[in-house]
Structure 1
Amino acid sequence: MSARIPSDQAVARHGWPQAVVAVLAALLAMGVVAALGLWAAGATGLPDNAFPRVVAATVVTAVGGTVEMSGDAGGLAESAADLTVIPLSVTLVGALVLAAGFLRPLRRRAVAGARELVGWAARFAVLWLLALLGLALAARQTFTISLGDDTLDDLGDLFSVTPKVGFRTDVPLTVVFGLLWLAGVLILALLVSRAAPLPPRLLRFQESVRPAAYAMVGLLLAYVALGVVIGLIVAATRGHAAETLAVLLLGLPNLVWLALTIGLGATWEGRVEGPFGLPMPHVLDEVLRGSDTAALNLSTLAEHDSRVWWLVAVDAVLVLAAAFVMAARSPRRMRAWQHAVHMAVALALTVLMICLVGRISAHYGLSVLGIGDLGGDLGGELVLEPQIWGALGFALLWGLVAGFLGALLAGPVHRRGEVPR
């Protein structure tokens, strides 16, 4: 009589179809969101049928890949360009779909062996590596840029000054960072999901780590949901629907998570010159535009729009709600000061992540016969960088206070799995 293989082991041994479906679903979701966002931004009008390659480059940057910019302006001129920005709307959609596909075959189980989890992760890594290589090879293009009017264009043709900007993917860096992104998504999925099994050696960490991770993901998603509502209202009432839709589909988390850190008290530094600009809201562009580096915080924003102080109130409500959720999902025996410490660490790590992925750097310049210094009227620059240590300090302070208050509010709440006395 042959031994019957348990269904869970059978799934573990023959899980390639599930992994293929999950990876393809994530890529399809990211590609659709990126394509719709770029379409709303007007990228379908790019020359040489470049739209699919721009979509591929957008997906590459969304998963941590590196896209290099190049410039060429002929023998009498010089051009330079660089762009560093992560379209976090595309990133978020891909992470959610990929995490759901990874967790689906593991659900309804209390414990899983480390070998099984590594096997599932290896399947995803192999498939993701192949996808990254395909996207990296597809994401390359060169564009010819107009000098602005017919006269300048004629002079450019006469002196062989034809400014071009191209992009291509740095394949090794894209593979490395793309796999690190995948590892982060899979680890976070295991930490957040209560139904996901863990190896026996890690079960002792789930009481302190899982509630905090779940609360922080919920906090970030709550800000995104609030941003979607506000964005749709703006699109319906104030016009510019296409531009607003492009922001929602490409960079909504970039804006709402920036607002989260500013509401906590963080300061970002940056400047805006030339044609570049932050698309929404307009007050950000007003603060940063100028020749010197400007500080972006509650004080400077309030000088242009006093409604920015509502960010503090929104942060207070949502961060406290996250602390309450964390405490309600934690064992009752955990003390209030422990909740405060867990919340402070979790919020600080969340703010650190926002600071690392929310940076923006864009520059284009053209110099003809040494005139222009790669800037001026034919160039532009957009830079946005966080003051990380100050942001982390405010996050720790908010986390301690919110964690303590959340523990007090969650005291009367019945925890799942506990028997009332």
Structure 2
Amino acid sequence: MAVVAGFAAMLAVAAAGLWAAGAADLPGGAFPRVVAAVVVLAAGGEVALAGDAGFLARSQAELAVMPLSVSLVGALVVATAFLRPLRHRAVAGTRELLGRFARLAVLWLAALAGLTAVARTTFRIPLGEDSPLTDIGEFLDAAPRVGFRAETGPTLLYGLLWLIGVAALALLVSRRAPLPPRLVGVQEVVRPAAYAMVWLLLAYVVVGLCAGIVVAVTQGHPGRTFAVILLGLPNLAWPALTLGMGATWEGRVEGPFGLPMPQVLDSVLRGEDRATLNVATLAEQDARAWWLVVVAAVLVPAAAFLMAARSPARTRPWQHALRMGAALALTVLVVCLTGRIAARVGLSLLGVGDLEGLGGEVSLQPRLWAAVGIGLGWGIVAGLLGALLAAPVRRRGAVKG
């Protein structure tokens, strides 16, 4: 049930997002294969791009992006289904939990392998009706083509790691999920922090969803906007958390494709070899970017308050501060690793440069360890504040002296 429900949800969200983006019109009945490729990427897999035109052309292509909307939906569904049979248990043996996960992993990897076999196709690239390059390609039967193919080995490996992370986080976040007797003591330290971080990330997704709906209604292009919401909303919302705290990302947009929403990102990143992305550079394009700082200043302390309210009353404020700092730093690390984007397509014919309109690049990379350090500092301060705010509402068991 967990495997069927998880993949069904991911396929549905991916298909809806791609349909909104106009991918249903792809030639050769490629739409199902593109949907499969998106789900493979969302499950942590790897999709390689390739292109050629015989001896006439060479191509360079790479794609490293995770459609986090699809990943998030799949993770929530799989976690819920995995925990459901255990919800009325106080404790569970290590062997039992490992056995349940092993059965889940075998079926998950089998289904992922099936999707990997489907996620491959090739497209012919039109060069224009009146282009002499078209005549040359047709004469020599060497029209440029580009395609993609899911890599089986890396996909199964990273898909297993993705599933391990989902199952472990589900056990840590849920109060009703049983743990092995040896780990029961850990839940007082880890579970409140894990719950608060998941709440923080979901809160940012909700805020981003509201903003996306407003953009779709007021600024037009609803199809493109809903495509971004269904495929990559957390790819925008979660880096916004790090930007609001003061982190910096670097990136570049070149060529005919770019970041579809919000347009301010494309404006900042386009035109330079390596552009700097932070609240200040965003505010130069749109002063509303300073609201990212306000949202972070509200939601991060709210998460700290929630963590403190769910922790034992005997926990001291400095302990809350350290735990919140460590949890937020780890969360920022995960956001930076999963939110990176690298996409590049280049095609040259007869060895002469990139063909006009067929080459481009989109990249977005964080200044990783600086962002993690910022998350640690914010977490410590917010943890102290949350502990003070939660003191009047916490259950009995006050610390003596």
Tell me which residue corresponds to 1:153: 134
> Which amino acid in 2 is paired with 1:367?
S
> Is the aligned partner of 1:191 residue 2:172?
yes
> Which amino acid in 2 is paired with 1:47?
P
Name which of 56, 59, 63 aligns with 1:83.
63
Name which of 68, 73, 90 aligns with 1:110.
90
Q: Deviations over 1:283-337 (max 9, x none)?
A: 1001110141011011111111111111000001000110000000000110111
> Which amino acid in 2 is paired with 1:25?
A
Q: Deviations over 1:209-238 (max 9, x none)?
A: 000000000000001111111111111121
Query: In 2, Cα distance between the equivalents of 1:132 and 1:58?
Result: 12
Query: In 2, Cα distance between the equivalents of 1:362 and 1:165?
Result: 14
| Cα distance, 1:154 vs structure 2 | 3.1
> Which amino acid in 1 is paired with 2:220?
G
Name which of 371, 389, 410 aligns with 2:352.
371
CA-atom RMSD in angstroms: 1.4
Query: How does 1:18-417 map onto structure 2 within 5 Å?
Result: 21-151=1-131, 152-158=133-139, 160-372=141-353, 374=354, 377-415=357-395
SS state of the match for residue 412, structure 1? helix
Tell me which residue corresponds to 1:17: none
Query: In 2, Cα distance between the equivalents of 1:71 and 1:380?
Result: 14
Contact 1:76–1:159 (Cα < 8 Å) also in 2: no
Tell me which residue corresponds to 1:12: none
| Cα distance, 1:83 vs structure 2 | 1.1
SS state of the match for residue 101, structure 2? helix
The range that moved more, 110-119 or 323-332, is 110-119
In structure 2, do the counterparts of structure 1 residues 149 and 411 end up closer, same or farther at CA, with 3 Å as the change threshold?
farther
Contact 2:314–2:397 (Cα < 8 Å) also in 1: no
In structure 2, do the counterparts of structure 1 residues 106 and 159 end up closer, same or farther at CA, with 3 Å as the change threshold?
same
Query: In 2, Cα distance between the equivalents of 1:161 and 1:377?
Result: 19
| Cα distance, 1:375 vs structure 2 | 6.6
Q: Deviations over 1:146-200 (max 9, x none)?
A: 1245324334324554111111111011111101100100000000000000001
| Cα distance, 1:275 vs structure 2 | 1.1
SS state of the match for residue 90, structure 2? coil
TM-score (norm 1): 0.92
Q: Deviations over 1:324-367 (max 9, x none)?
A: 00000000110111101000000000000011011111111111
SS state of the match for residue 392, structure 2? coil
Query: In 2, Cα distance between the equivalents of 1:57 and 1:179?
Result: 17
Contact 2:317–2:388 (Cα < 8 Å) also in 1: yes
The range that moved more, 39-48 or 93-102, is 39-48
In structure 2, do the counterparts of structure 1 residues 199 and 379 end up closer, same or farther at CA, with 3 Å as the change threshold?
same
Q: Deviations over 1:34-70 (max 9, x none)?
A: 0000000111111110111111111000011011111
Q: How many pairs align? A: 397
Q: Runs of 5+ in structure 1 lacking a partner?
A: 1-20
> Which amino acid in 2 is paired with 1:170?
E
TM-score (norm 2): 0.96
| Cα distance, 1:82 vs structure 2 | 1.4
Query: In 2, Cα distance between the equivalents of 1:255 and 1:233?
Result: 15
> Which amino acid in 2 is paired with 1:116?
E
> Which amino acid in 2 is paired with 1:311?
L
Query: In 2, Cα distance between the equivalents of 1:160 and 1:259?
Result: 48
| % identical aligned pairs | 65
SS state of the match for residue 150, structure 1? coil
Contact 2:86–2:177 (Cα < 8 Å) also in 1: yes
Query: In 1, Cα distance between the equivalents of 2:249 and 2:136?
Result: 41
